[in-house]
Amino acid sequence: MSRRRGLFITLEGPEGAGKSTQARRLAGWLRRRGRKVLLTREPGGTPIGMKLRRILLDKRSGNLDPLVELCLYEAARGELLRRVIRPALAAGKVVVLDRFQDSTWVYQGYAGAVDRKLVERLGTVVLAGCEPDLTLLLDLPVRRGLARVRRPNRFEAKPLRFHETVRRGYLFLSRRFPRRIRRIAADRSLQEVQDAIQREVERFLR
């Protein structure tokens, strides 16, 4: 994506890695440097996205089929891209997004057993070339991450083996796309993690 069309940064990682907190901190740091920033999350960011978020994360939704999850996530993503992300990038803003297509590939494909080629094909259609410039993978041991979760949602409450598979999926992606996905050790203090994030982002601000 052209630099003059903005900068697209996503944060990914297993449960309890601190993505939301670090996304807020990163957005604040960028604003202090004079950047116009859009901070948002998936699923969410639009009225439809928020409705789908409630369905996807609510324990009362039960054991949704991963294929159904895939379709709901991509619907929310398409709406967010069209209404929020693409206009922000066109205006030259830095978009900081808590979760994106990598989450779907890992949770529904790698851990949920939906055909990965199907996940990738559908993602290609929905993204239509709107790929992140940088993905920050906040990584930490699964048990340590889950211990941080206070009120688990439908995904956070899944069995330990599911979360172990999720982490393996993320590490697989980081090896597959090493130039885009930068692994950040998240089992450190908030400031140490943020410092590492800022060092990675700094390369795109020069």
Which pLDDT score, from 0 to 100, does residue 206 have? 74
Quote the pLDDT of residue 5. Answer: 84
Amino acid at 107: Y
pLDDT confidence of residue 109: 97
Mean pLDDT of the chain: 96
DSSP per position, 148-177: H-SS--TTTTS-HHHHHHHHHHHHHHHHHS
Query: Residues 6 or more apart from 92 whose CB is under 8 A from it?
Result: 4, 5, 6, 36
In the prediction, which pLDDT does 4 show? 47
- Tell me the average pLDDT across 50-56: 97
- Contact by Cβ (8 Å): 70, 122: yes
8 A C-beta contact, residue 135 and residue 102:
yes
Residue 1: pLDDT band (50, 70, 90) is very low
What CATH architecture is 3-205? 3-Layer(aba) Sandwich (3.40)
CA-based diameter of the chain, in Å?
47
